[in-house]
């Protein structure tokens, strides 16, 4: 971190600042320019508040040289993280297709779609038991019973389960779940992220509706700082002025995240676009951009779905898309 001080600075304030920085176990490299003094800070600056320093009377400007996240940073962990869930692998060149309905509705529905998806080649099953709905009058999910149905679908097909936790009080019920999803609305639920850091299961961390890539990586850092390095990032579209799609899929997040972090990144084209008809194009674009996987909503009968039917593919459409993904991936190898 570099701090540029104002010319003609107050000596007392300068001494207070340098003492404060040294007390944080930082080494100070000071150099005098023609007009101003510059302090280079060496050491772990992750806990240093740049806004606070920038607001000091004697400070002209302050700049971080390194990103504020460490565990998630590719600089310190150059190799791709590969996350294994049963037979599935994500990251480091391993591609993972996760598919399933927005929400678990009945045993027939979830077990039926799980069988179809398994036969098509999906590697994991998604399905919400606890649903974050905008309206309190919409279907809220089957809760713990829904988790039980997901486990039945896993017992039948062997597909690992990905499902969303909405509140920490639900954590004990996730004991047998393979991958815990943190939804977009909870990306900055720091208390939840801290607790998930103590869990030894992969965490699928969706990007918040209005969050920057750095904020997203800082949320991953919360989980990792707690000791759980198994974080899968999921780009699911961000809020923009555009209304033609539900969100705007930020495909450029894929190469950016890959440069900044070693964590795998997958894409959710269903919540990103909000329309089944756009899911294929965005899935292929995500694969072309280097995504490590996709999480796609697929429903046995989208028109009768209790949640997000408009953006759900039929099993047939998913089969067709999976064939195109295979061809695309082979052409990129």
184 near ligand PEP, rule: CB under 6 A: yes
Rg, the chain, Cα only: 23
CA-to-CA distance for 193 and 186, rounded, in angstroms? 9
CA-to-CA distance for 192 and 169, rounded, in angstroms? 10
216 and 224 in contact (C-beta within 8 Å)? no
183 near ligand PEP, rule: CB under 6 A: yes
The residue (of 184 and 218) whose beta carbon lies closer to ligand PEP is 184
Give me the residues paired with residue 164 across strands: 181
CA-to-CA distance for 213 and 209, rounded, in angstroms? 11
Q: Determine the interface stretch with ligand PEP among 104-112, 136-144, 182-190, 256-264 (rule: CB under 6 A).
A: 182-190
The residue (of 236 and 258) whose beta carbon lies closer to ligand PEP is 236
Q: Determine the interface stretch with ligand PEP among 112-120, 151-159, 180-188, 255-263 (rule: CB under 6 A).
A: 180-188
151 and 127 in contact (C-beta within 8 Å)? no
Residue choice 89, 236, 258, 262 for contact with ligand PEP (CB under 6 A): 236
Alpha helices in 158-293 (DSSP H): 190-196, 213-225, 253-260, 269-273, 276-288
132 binds, among Mn ion, ligand PEP, none (CB under 5 to 8 A by kind): ligand PEP
Tell me the closest approach of the beta carbon of residue 236 to ligand PEP, in angstroms.
Answer: 4
299 near ligand PEP, rule: CB under 6 A: no
Residue choice 102, 147, 196, 305 for contact with ligand PEP (CB under 6 A): 102
184 binds, among Mn ion, ligand PEP, none (CB under 5 to 8 A by kind): ligand PEP
Of 28, 67, 71, the closest CA to residue 46 belongs to 67
313 near Mn ion, rule: CB under 5 A: no
User: What is the binding site for Mn ion (CB under 5 A)?
Assistant: 102, 308
């Amino acid at each position: 971190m570099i701090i540029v001080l104002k010319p003609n600075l107050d000596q007392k304030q300068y001494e207070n600042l340098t003492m404060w920085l040294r007390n944080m176990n930082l080494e100070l490299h000071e150099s005098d320019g023609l007009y101003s003094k510059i302090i280079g800070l060496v050491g772990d600056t992750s806990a240093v508040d740049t806004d606070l320093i920038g607001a000091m009377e004697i400070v002209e400007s302050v700049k971080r040289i390194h990103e504020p996240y460490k565990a998630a940073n590719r600089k310190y962990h150059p190799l791709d993280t590969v996350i294994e869930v049963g037979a599935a692998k994500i990251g480091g060149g391993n591609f993972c297709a996760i598919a399933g309905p927005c929400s678990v509705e009945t045993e027939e529905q979830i077990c039926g779609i799980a069988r179809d998806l398994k036969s098509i080649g999906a590697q994991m099953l998604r399905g919400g038991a606890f649903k974050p709905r905008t309206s309190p009058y919409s279907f809220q999910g089957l809760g713990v019973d829904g988790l039980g149905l997901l486990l039945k679908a896993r017992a039948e097909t062997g597909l690992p389960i990905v499902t969303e936790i909405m509140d920490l009080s639900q954590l004990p019920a996730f004991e047998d779940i393979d991958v815990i999803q943190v939804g977009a609305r909870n990306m900055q639920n720091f208390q939840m992220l801290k607790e998930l850091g103590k869990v030894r299961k992969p965490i699928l961390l969706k990007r918040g509706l209005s969050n920057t890539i750095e904020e997203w990586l800082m949320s991953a850092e919360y989980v990792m700082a707690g000791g759980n390095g198994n974080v899968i990032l999921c780009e699911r579209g961000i809020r923009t002025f555009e209304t033609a799609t539900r969100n705007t899929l930020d495909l450029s997040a894929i190469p950016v995240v890959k440069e900044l972090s070693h964590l795998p990144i997958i894409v959710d084209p269903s919540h990103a676009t909000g329309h089944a008809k756009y899911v294929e194009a965005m899935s292929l674009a995500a694969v072309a951009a280097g995504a490590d996987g996709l999480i796609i909503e697929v429903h046995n009968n989208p028109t009768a779905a209790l949640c997000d039917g408009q953006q759900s593919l039929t099993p047939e459409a998913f089969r067709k898309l999976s064939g195109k993904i295979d061809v695309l991936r082979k052409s990129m190898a």
